[in-house]
C-alpha cells in the first residue's frame, strides 16, 4: 500500500540532520506496517497529478496558517475535496488537520488563548487519554459539516476530527519524538513562545507519549478499519 505524504512545512535547519524532515518522521512512525511512501513538496507547488498515485494520504504540519494567502493553499484544498469525494483514506496532522477542516467548510483561527507546546493529555472519544506532543497556536474553531470531534481538551475543543470512515485529523503531532520537540523549544520557540511555556515544553519531553497507539490508528484509517469511539 502506497502512502502519499503531502509535506507542507520544513523542519528547522539545525534539526534536519538529526531528526529529518516532516515526511521522514511519518515514515519512521509508520515503519514495518506494509506501507511504501512518496513525498510531495507542496510548498514548492508539487502535488499529485491524480489521486490514483497513492492509496492513502497524509498532510503534515507547517509553520504557515491555513488561512494565509499562499499560492499552494487553494490547490491543496481542492485536492482534499477530491480525496473526500473519492473516499480515499486521508490523515491530517496539525496544519494538515486545519487545512482539511477549512477545505471542507470549517474555520481555522489563531487561538486567543495562545500557544500549546509540549506534552498534552488528550481525552479521546473511545475513553482513552493519549499523551501527545502539541506545537500550535492556530486551531480549528468550527468543524466542517459532517465532521465528528473525537478528541477534545479545555484548550483545544476540536483536537481531532473524523469525516466518514476515511478521514482522520488531529491537532497534536504523533510523529514528533521527544528530541525533536526539545530541539524546537531550543530553536524555533525562542523569542516566540512565552518563556514559561517553552521551558515547560522541554521538561515535558522526559515523559513518554502515545506514538505507537497513534500509528495503530493511522494504519487503521489507511486500511479501512477505523473504529469510532
What was the pLDDT predicted at 142?
98
Instruction: Give phi and psi for 141, each to the nearest 5.
Output: -100, -25
Classify residue 132: in a domain, yes or no: no
Nearest-angstrom CA–CA distance, 118 and 92: 19
Classify residue 126: in a domain, yes or no: no
- Expressed as residue numbers, the domain containing 154 is 2-110+138-176+210-222
What was the pLDDT predicted at 229?
43
Classify residue 131: in a domain, yes or no: no
Classify residue 29: in a domain, yes or no: yes
CATH number of the domain within which 48 lies: 3.40.50.880
> Half-sphere exposure of 13 toward its Cβ, with a 13 Å CA cutoff?
0
Classify residue 160: in a domain, yes or no: yes
Classify residue 35: in a domain, yes or no: yes
Cell digits of residue 85: 469525494
Cα dihedral sign for 73, 75, 81, 84? negative
Alpha helices for 41-85 (secondary structure H): 73-85
Q: How far apart are the first and last CA of the chain?
A: 26
Nearest-angstrom CA–CA distance, 21 and 44: 15
What was the pLDDT predicted at 224?
86
pLDDT tens over the chain, length 229 residues: 999 999 999 999 999 999 999 999 999 999 999 999 999 999 999 999 999 999 999 999 999 999 999 999 999 999 999 999 999 999 999 999 999 999 999 999 999 889 999 999 999 999 999 999 999 999 999 999 999 999 999 999 999 999 999 999 999 999 999 999 999 999 989 999 999 999 999 999 999 999 999 999 999 999 986 654 4
Cell digits of residue 86: 473519492
Classify residue 115: in a domain, yes or no: no
Nearest-angstrom CA–CA distance, 65 and 100: 12
Instruction: Give phi and psi for 72, each to the nearest 5.
Output: -95, -10
> Half-sphere exposure of 57 toward its Cβ, with a 13 Å CA cutoff?
31
Closest CA to 181 of 115, 146, 135, 141: 135
Residue 168, helix vs strand vs coil: strand
Q: Are 55 and 3 in contact (CB under 8 A)?
A: yes
What was the pLDDT predicted at 135?
94
Classify residue 95: in a domain, yes or no: yes
Nearest-angstrom CA–CA distance, 43 and 31: 25
In this prediction the pTM is: 0.95
> Half-sphere exposure of 73 toward its Cβ, with a 13 Å CA cutoff?
15
How many domains would you assign to the chain? Answer: 1
User: DSSP assignment, residue 163?
Assistant: E
Cell digits of residue 94: 496539525
Amino acid at each position: 500500500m502506497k502512502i502519499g505524504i503531502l509535506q507542507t512545512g520544513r523542519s528547522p535547519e539545525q534539526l534536519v540532520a538529526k531528526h529529518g524532515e516532516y515526511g521522514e518522521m511519518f515514515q519512521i512512525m509508520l515503519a514495518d506496517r506494509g506501507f511504501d511512501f512518496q513525498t510531495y513538496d507542496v510548498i514548492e507547488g508539487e502535488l499529485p497529478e491524480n489521486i490514483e498515485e497513492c492509496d492513502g494520504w497524509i498532510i503534515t504540519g507547517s509553520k504557515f496558517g491555513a488561512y494565509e494567502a499562499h499560492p499552494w493553499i487553494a490547490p491543496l484544498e481542492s485536492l482534499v475535496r477530491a480525496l473526500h469525494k473519492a473516499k480515499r483514506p486521508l490523515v491530517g496532522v496539525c496544519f494538515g488537520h486545519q487545512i482539511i477542516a477549512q477545505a471542507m467548510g470549517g474555520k481555522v483561527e489563531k487561538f486567543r488563548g495562545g500557544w500549546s507546546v509540549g506534552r498534552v493529555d488528550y481525552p479521546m472519544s473511545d475513553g482513552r487519554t493519549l499523551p501527545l506532543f502539541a506545537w500550535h497556536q492556530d486551531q480549528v474553531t468550527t468543524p466542517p459539516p459532517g465532521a465528528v470531534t473525537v478528541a477534545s481538551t479545555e484548550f483545544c475543543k476540536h483536537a481531532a476530527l473524523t469525516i466518514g470512515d476515511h478521514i482522520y485529523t488531529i491537532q497534536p503531532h504523533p510523529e514528533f519524538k521527544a528530541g525533536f520537540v526539545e530541539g524546537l523549544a531550543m530553536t524555533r520557540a525562542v523569542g516566540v513562545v512565552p518563556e514559561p511555556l517553552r521551558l515547560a515544553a522541554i521538561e515535558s519531553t522526559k515523559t513518554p507519549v502515545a506514538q505507537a497507539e497513534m500509528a495503530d490508528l493511522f494504519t487503521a484509517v489507511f486500511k479501512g478499519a477505523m473504529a469510532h469511539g
